[in-house]
């Protein structure tokens, strides 16, 4: 989920001083001399089977106030040594990830070949693309192909990273790359105390033990870490901040915090902040009254959520243009948060603003609504001993129903009211209160809330062609994933995309009458229906046809392909799959060998079953069901991987179960 943090107190202070601040000293961006030891290095040091290693990765970090702009700039410099053909292949293309608040500029590079000759990186070799990672997520990268890479060569490249995050009090320094690194060094130049209003820069390391800060001659402070292995991206792993080494730079006032007292104060402060943003103008009152008119008491919350989603666009929604988004940010008040009346009037809001408007409207109709700070599963796993609000930034709203708090997030419009995003479901949350704030666990999602229900009514021909109608429906988080894939596209484009996917799963297939329904209505199952003709689906040998009944799993690879594992296993959410397939067999053919794969029970998390039934003389029924994540069990330690892999390998084997049909005399 995309969250927008407004200006913070330190930022406001610094901006007020910006006209007084001189430009800071720059960084030498020339190439460093190559040592004889680097030229002669013939074998990897960090990982014995690595084909390429980084000799160093040096980063200079500057906090700069220039005119009216406050920026954080990082100057990166990486030097690689190529040891083998495998390393040559890996280093041939370099990818530098970035996000919407980061600019990657001034990329340069060169290859020093084994004979000492130098080949420069050409500007036309640099481009931008989306990189698909394990787990289907995409990441934008600046990509470039290094020239003349060969075993024995030294490859080095530099780039400038400019971060525009308004939360200038904090920044993350990554310490791990796709290659093993001999030494990672950060040179940090904080704002001087004259301009940082008494705040001191500190370092907070995660998953590593960097060296103590050393003051350099050029007024930078440096810290380093050595022998960092290459990062291994694995499916279903915890969020990267929990497995990669990194350092948080933060500005603080040196006071020591008692976690219990700190969060108690924060809970009171958040409650006070909401009261300041709740403005029950006539327009807000009218909107609330209109939203719940003729609605039963138990449905009032959902009615208010629907009203806000209909009348207020999210700042990061596809329906908001870049020009509107820029104007919105430009017009934000600098020293306060917008109130609920302003949010409703503007028709555009940040996620936090949409939730604050929800609290205002809920309060007007007599509901007890409180702001909630909730942890994010895609970030470092929160523990209350981490006494800094930076780690608990998402704002939701809790409403008391039947004596218990229920948590809502209006901004996640692709989920039905009351269902939290998988990033927040089951996570720790701080419910604000003027006297006694408290931590609670947000409810974990149930497998049946994210149901994939698929049906097929098919006919098999004697030549192996399978044809008929298929329907897929999705709810909850599974539907949310599919809706994200469709977001921003025209219906026609989404239909073409689905046809392309089906053609890859079923080569030579013909798809017609494809319909996508409820793509934008989270309170109804997302439905995909189509007719399909699949030539040679069943293989024929002599008088026999070999049929794979589980058509919806056709072509699926194993979930876990690697024999070993480096990280824990964290599934995003619990889910359930239910398939009902009816296949009319060709005339003159009878089941020769069938057998049902049966039930596989793997304890508390869930179970799997596939049942094959013969209906009459000519119809085969295949019913498949999978439940995983019961009781919120979606995280497993690394040493559970062999058993977990065994379970999903067995599911994959049973999904690929085939039967034999024999033609009669």
- Whether the per-residue pLDDT at 496 is higher than 70: the answer is yes
Kindly state whether residues 263 and 244 are assigned to the same domain: no
Tell whether 404 and 495 lie within a shared domain: no
The last residue of one of the domains, among 443, 473, 501, is 443
Among residues 416, 443, 470, the one where a domain terminates is 443
Whether residue 210 is found in the same domain as residue 184: yes
Q: What is the dihedral of CA 142, 143, 149, 154, to 10 degrees?
A: 10
At 589-598, the pLDDT tens digits run 988 766 789 9
382 with 498, same domain? no
pLDDT score of 4 more than 80: no
Instruction: Please tell me whether residues 438 and 522 are part of one structural domain.
Output: no
Judgement on whether residues 364 and 390 belong to the same structural domain of the protein:
yes
Last-in-domain residue among 384, 410, 443: 443
Quote the percentage of the chain above a pLDDT of 70.
92
Residues with Cβ within 8 Å of 252's Cβ and at least 6 positions away in sequence, in order, are 199, 200, 202
pTM of the model: 0.88
Please indicate, yes or no, whether residues 409 and 426 belong to a single structural domain of this protein.
yes
**What does the angle CA 386 – CA 431 – CA 369 come to, to the nearest 5 degrees?**
155
Tell me the average pLDDT across 518-535: 97
What is the model's pLDDT at position 256? 84
Residue 29 falls inside a structural domain: yes
For residue 344, count CB atoms less than 10 angstroms from its CB and return exposed for 0-12, middle for 13-18, buried for 19 or more.
buried
What is the reported pLDDT for 10?
38
- Output the pLDDT for position 68: 62
The domain total for the chain is: 3
**For residue 3, is it within any domain?**
no
Task: Give every CB contact of residue 216 below 8 A, 6+ residues apart in sequence.
Answer: 187, 222
DSSP H stretches of helix in 212-313:
259-277, 282-291, 300-311
Looking at the fold, whether 85 and 208 belong to one and the same domain comes out as yes
pLDDT, residue 639, reads 97
pLDDT digits (tens, 9 = 90+) for 45-99: 999 999 999 999 999 998 766 666 677 899 999 999 999 999 999 999 999 998 8
Weakest mean pLDDT among 270-274, 343-347, 437-441, 488-492: 488-492
**In whole angstroms, what is the distance from residue 522 CA to residue 429 CA?**
24
Look at residue 403 in the predicted model and tell me its pLDDT.
87
Same domain, 279 and 394: yes
pLDDT tops 50 at residue 424: yes
Q: Which tens digit of pLDDT belongs to each residue from 390-404?
A: 999 999 999 998 889
Whether residues 416 and 523 share a domain: the answer is: no
CATH number of the structural domain spanning residue 568: 2.60.120.1130
State the pLDDT at residue 146.
97
Question: What percent of the chain shows pLDDT beyond 90?
Answer: 78
- Mean pLDDT for the chain? 91
Q: Is residue 4 part of a domain?
A: no
Structure tokens at 318: 């596809």
Calpha distance 550→505 (Å, rounded): 13
pLDDT grade for 101, boundaries at 50, 70 and 90: confident
Query: Which residue in this structure is represented by tokens 């003349």?
Result: 148
What's the confidence (pLDDT) of residue 196? 59
**Long-range contacts formed by 120-123: CB under 8 A, 24+ apart:** 120/147, 121/146, 121/147, 121/157, 122/147
Distances (CA, A) of 451 to 36, 413, 420, 446: 61, 18, 16, 10
pLDDT of amino acid 194:
55
Instruction: Report the pLDDT value the prediction gives residue 318, as an integer from 0 to 100.
Output: 83
Q: pLDDT band for position 638 (50/70/90)?
A: very high
**Which tokens belong to 383?**
């523990």
CA distance 244 to 490: 38
Range of the domain at 244: 9-252
Question: What confidence score (pLDDT) does residue 69 get?
Answer: 64
């Amino acid at each position: 989920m995309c969250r927008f943090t407004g200006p913070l107190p330190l930022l406001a202070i610094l901006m007020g001083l910006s006209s007084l601040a001189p430009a800071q000293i720059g960084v030498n961006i020339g190439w460093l001399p190559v040592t004889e030891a680097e030229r002669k290095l013939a074998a990897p040091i960090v990982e014995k089977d690595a084909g390429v290693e980084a000799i160093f990765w040096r980063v200079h970090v500057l906090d700069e106030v220039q005119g009216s702009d406050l920026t954080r700039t990082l100057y990166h410099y990486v030097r690689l040594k190529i040891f083998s053909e495998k390393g040559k292949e890996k280093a041939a293309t370099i990818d530098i990830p970035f996000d919407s608040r980061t600019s990657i500029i001034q990329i340069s590079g060169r290859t020093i070949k084994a004979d000492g000759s130098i080949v420069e990186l050409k500007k036309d070799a640099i481009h931008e693309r989306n990189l698909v990672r394990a787990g289907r997520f995409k990441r934008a990268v600046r990509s470039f192909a290094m020239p003349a890479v060969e075993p024995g060569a030294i490859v080095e490249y530099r780039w400038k990273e400019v971060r525009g995050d308004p939360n200038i009090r904090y920044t993350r320094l990554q310490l791990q790359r796709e290659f093993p690194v001999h030494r990672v060094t950060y040179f940090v130049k904080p704002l001087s105390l004259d301009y940082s209003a008494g705040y001191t820069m500190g370092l907070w390391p995660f998953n590593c033990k960097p060296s103590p800060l050393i003051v350099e001659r050029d007024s930078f402070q440096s810290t380093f870490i050595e022998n960092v292995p290459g990062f291994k991206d694995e499916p279903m792993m915890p969020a990267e901040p929990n497995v990669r080494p990194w350092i948080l730079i933060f500005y603080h006032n040196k006071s020591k915090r008692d976690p219990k007292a700190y969060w108690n104060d924060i809970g009171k402060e958040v409650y006070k902040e909401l009261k300041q943003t709740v403005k029950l103008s006539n327009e807000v009152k009218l909107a609330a009254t209109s939203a719940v008119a003729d609605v039963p008491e138990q449905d009032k919350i959902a009615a208010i959520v629907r009203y806000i989603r209909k009348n207020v666009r999210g700042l990061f929604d596809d329906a908001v243009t870049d020009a509107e988004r820029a104007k919105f940010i430009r017009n934000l008040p600098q020293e306060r948060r917008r109130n609920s009346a302003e949010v409703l009037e503007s028709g555009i809001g940040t996620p936090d603003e949409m939730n604050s408007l929800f609290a205002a409207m809920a309060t007007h109709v007599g509901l007890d609504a409180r702001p909630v700070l909730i942890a994010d599963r895609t970030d470092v796993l929160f523990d209350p001993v981490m006494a800094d609000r930076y780690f608990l930034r998402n704002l939701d709203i809790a409403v008391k129903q039947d004596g218990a708090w229920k948590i809502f997030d209006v901004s996640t419009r692709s989920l039905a009211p009351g269902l939290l995003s998988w990033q927040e479901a089951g996570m720790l949350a701080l419910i604000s209160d003027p006297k006694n704030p408290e931590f609670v666990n947000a409810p974990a999602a149930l497998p049946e809330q994210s149901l994939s229900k698929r049906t097929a009514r098919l006919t098999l021909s004697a030549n192996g062609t399978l044809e008929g109608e298929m329907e897929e429906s999705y709810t909850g988080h599974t539907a949310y994933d599919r809706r994200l894939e469709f977001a921003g596209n025209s219906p026609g484009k989404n239909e073409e995309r689905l046809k392309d996917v089906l053609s890859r799963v079923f080569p030579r297939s013909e798809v017609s009458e494809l319909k996508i329904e409820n793509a934008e209505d989270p309170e109804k199952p997302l439905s995909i229906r189509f007719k399909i003709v699949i030539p040679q689906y069943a293989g024929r040998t002599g008088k026999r046809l070999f049929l794979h009944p589980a058509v919806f799993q056709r072509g699926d690879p194993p979930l876990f392909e690697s024999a070993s594992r480096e990280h824990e296993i964290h599934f995003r959410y619990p889910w359930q799959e239910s398939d009902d397939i009816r296949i009319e067999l060709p005339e003159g053919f009878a089941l020769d060998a069938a057998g049902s794969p049966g039930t596989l029970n793997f304890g508390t998390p869930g179970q799997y079953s596939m049942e094959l039934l013969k209906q009459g003389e000519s119809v085969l029924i295949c019913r498949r069901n999978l439940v995983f994540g019961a009781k919120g069990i979606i995280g497993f330690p690394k040493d559970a991987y062999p058993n977990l892999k065994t379970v999903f390998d067995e599911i994959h084997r049973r999904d690929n179960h085939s039967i034999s049909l024999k033609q009669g005399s």
